[in-house]
Structure 1
Amino acid sequence: MEKQHPTMFKLSQYSYYENQTFQAISLPYGEGRVSMYVFLPKEEIGLEKFHQTLNEENWENWMLKFDGIFLILFLPKEEIGLEKFHQTLNEENWENWMLKFESQ
């Protein structure tokens, strides 16, 4: 039995990229000066194999391939506080990885 979860949706233009490994979308925040990138690995690839492809060279290549597209975006409705966000970054050791890209 699948668990139902509240979702939110919006029809808009987004920066989007898809290849054989994943689908990805850039979600602008506020006035659009900051974006969150969401990557969804293809089912046959899985999260572990996708995680192995995350490196600086691939990231830079992927960022160049995003293109504007109109679509209806459905996402789970979640709220995450800044404290929980920082806790997650520290647990996953993503903080250093993300800072590396911000400094470029």
Structure 2
Amino acid sequence: MNEKSNPQILFPVSLTIYDVCECEDKVQESIRAGFDAEINLANVAELDSAGMQWLMSFAERENNMGQRVGITRPSPVCVEQFRLMGLSDFTGAADD
């Protein structure tokens, strides 16, 4: 993709059904600019099933189109949600 460093897309405190469209727009803006999607989840304090579903389907959809999607700095809430769903590999966190 772009030779410049990929900008990280800092997600809001909430990644819920109410936030999915805004998050999609943020990430698509970066992709249209020629960058890989580097999603920073450090601020996420609330993550519901719709947010989780969007995040996973977005990553799969973009990967299938040859676009790299990276998840960086998942908050403790995100790490726990991924762990509970058996998806720790998604963020690089280890399952217990």
Question: More helix per residue: 1 or 2?
Answer: 2
Q: Could you say which TM-score interval applies, normalised by the shorter chain? A: under 0.3
Question: More strand per residue: 1 or 2?
Answer: 1
Structure possessing the higher relative contact order (Cα contacts under 8 Å, 6 or more residues apart): 1
Between Structure 1 and Structure 2, whose CA radius of gyration is higher? 1
TM-score normalised by the chain length of structure 1: 0.27
